[in-house]
Structures are given as C-alpha cells and as structure tokens.
Amino acid sequence: MKIFKFGGASVKDAEGVKNVLHVLNTVGHEDVLLVISAMGKTTNALEVVIKNYFDKSKELHASLQEVRKYHNQILLDLFEDEDHDVFFDVNAHFDDLEYFIRSNKSPNYSFVYDQVVSIGELVSTTIVSHYFNYSGLKNNWIDVRPLIKTDNNYRDAQVDWETTQKLISKGVKKKTLNITQGFLGSDENNFTTTLGREGSDYTAAIFAYCLGAESVTIWKDVPGVLNADPRYFENAVLLNQISYREAIELAFYGASVIHPKTLQPLQKKEIPLFVKSFINPTLAGTSVSKGADLEPHTPCFIVKKNQLLLSLSSIDFDFIMENHISEIFALFAKFKVKVNLIQNTAISFSVCIEDKYNNFEELRKVLAKKFKVSYNENVSLYTIRHFDENAAKVVETNKTILLRQISRETMQVITKE
C-alpha cells in the first residue's frame, strides 16, 4: 500500500479537489490510502470560533456560519444536485459541532480546541470522498479517530503505538482507495485529540508504519524539498535526494515542508518518503531514504519568525548549574514552550523559544522569582545547515545580530530585523 497526504492548500476550493482526482488518475490509486487535511485555512477559521466561544463574543454564531458558508460554496461548485447525500453528511458534521458548543461544560481550552478544529478534517474528507464516488472513483471513507489512539494531552497528543497498530491493521481495507483524516486521534474515553499543528504528515507516517507501506508521498504546492523557503530567500534550489538523518535535522530546525515527527516511524522501517508537487505530479520531487551519501552539497537555510530570546542570570551572581537548568527546563515543559536554541555561560543562560500556546507571560512571572529575566520579542532565528562564508553573509547582512552559535555543520543566528 502507498500512503498519499494532501494538505489544506491542495483542497482549498473545488478546483483543488478536482486536481487531487487528476493527480490520482495520473499516478495511480489502487491500494492507496489518502490522508487529507482541512480545506484551505479552515483550522485558522475554527480557531476564531474557539476564541469567540471563550470570549462569549456575539460574533460566535457569525464566525461559525462563515466556516459553513465556505464549505457549502465548495459543495455547490462540485455537485449539481443539492439533494446529493454529501450536503446532508456535511451538515451533520456542523450540527454535531454546534451541539458541542451549546452543551460543553469543560473550561479546558485544549480539550475544546480539539473537539472543534477536528470538524475541518472530517468535513474535507467527506466532501472529497463523495466527489470521488460522484466522479466514478469508488473509495472507502475512514474515521481516523477510532484507529489512532492517544493519551489525553489535547492539542499535542502522544500515540499509543501498540493499540494503534492493532486497530489500523484491522480497520484499513486492502486493494482499494481509502480516504481518512490527518491530524486527529482519540483518547481512551473516545474524545477527539489532535497530534499538533501540521500533524497530517505525522498521520501519514503512522499509517505507513502500522501497515508496512511501500512509500509515503506528501503532495505540496512546491516541487519538493528546497534548500530555502522562497518567501524569504532568492534562488532556492531543489534537493533531489536527502537522507532520513538530514531530513530529521532540517525538520528539527524548523523546515516547514516535512513535519518533525513524520520521519522517525518511517526511518524505523526504512519506508521511503517522497515530497512532490500536486501541480506537476509527474515530476520526480524529493526522495528521502536511507544513505549517508544523500547529504546535500549546498547550504540549507531555515528561518523561524516571531521567536523570543530569553536570558536568565542568577540574582546573586551564583553559577547557573545543572540543578538550575533542570528546573528551568521543567518549567518550559510545564508551560509548553518550545526551545529552539540554547547558549549558556557561568552566570547566564540564554534560550530562543517559541511561545505557540501564549504561556510566556505566566512563565516569566515564575522564572522572575528565582532569576533575573530579560528578553527580546519578535526576533528571527536563522539556521544554516552545511554553512559556508557566503551563506553566513546572506543571513547576517543588514541585520542586528543578538546571538550567534556555530557547530561543525550548523550555524544559528538570532537577529532583530
């Protein structure tokens, strides 16, 4: 079996859905499992719904209707008959969401988040599955939630691999086209969980691992893995082949084409990963597989915007020792702050962090009880793999350098634009 993953950009409108069908007819669809994300910016729109819900905003109903309206337009563009079953099925998903919003009693933001945003994937796959059947391509729609079992760490759930392996092995039909959702799972009480933003790639890897898949292909609006994000760097070039190790390094440092969790289960079973263009599906794209000889011979640039550079020093000029660092990292874990760079001296400790859950202010107050705290907001972290002098100049020219760190293969620079 092959696993194909299509992200939100590939199904953002009716033409996108039709193009996914074109891709499958071009490259083949027998014994394929499709993992599909929410359409376009639906997850962002549902986050607005969640905000309005917790703010008790008068805009709650309107924000929810915007999401309904967006999907209804796609339905009208794809299906001539408004009595088609797809309209009923999509409305049923939205009715379930509205019932949850009316009846929920939990104040847990992360729990509510997962129950609400999951509608995006359920609706997108429902539309795609019905459209394929409507166009003559028979398929099997799967609700992923009973198959991928997780803990209840909502918004960043951890997979129960043993249980998931058994359920996926039984729950996926062979020799047919299967369609399921990315990003989602469920806990032991069958409440919906999510695997972290952009987690649909990870979903594809979970299915590949559990099914012993032939390969995984991530279909993007770029020709493959580039050595730099073309939004920020000129003359980006395609990396034709890279090793698992290099792909993991790039993902760890923030390369957005491949989700960081995706590669580990694939590497364990040596399942090749392809990153290809849904615009030009016959192009080779990038292959990720085993082999030290697959390292790129060109510098690779990664930039992470909207970072925080946090510096801690002891109040009494005491050394920052292991026990201090252990305590600091325990707090980072507690407040779900992601650390992207570390640098320390005898009396200071600096980290570049990502505050994706908006917990920094609360964290800062706790740290200030034991340390002198200073920080810079809205800094950029540049990482260059396989750097050279010219690559360093590209990053550092006309910028204020706040911190620089260099290892054998990697250079990291924090700048204030």
User: Which residues are part of a known binding site for substrate?
Assistant: 121
- Cβ contacts of residue 336 below 8 Å, gap of 6+? 156, 356, 357, 359
Per the annotation, binding residues for ATP are 231
- Report d(CA 401, CA 182) in Å as an integer: 39
Q: In what order do the strands lie in the sheet with 215-220?
A: 140-141, 177-181, 32-36, 2-6, 215-220, 273-277, 286-289, 241-243
What size, in residues, is the chain?
417
Cβ proximity of 401 and 374 under 8 Å: no
Per the annotation, binding residues are 121, 231
- Report d(CA 63, CA 116) in Å as an integer: 13
- Report d(CA 39, CA 157) in Å as an integer: 22
Give the pairing of strands 371-385 and 410-416: antiparallel
- Cβ contacts of residue 65 below 8 Å, gap of 6+? none
- Report d(CA 5, CA 33) in Å as an integer: 8
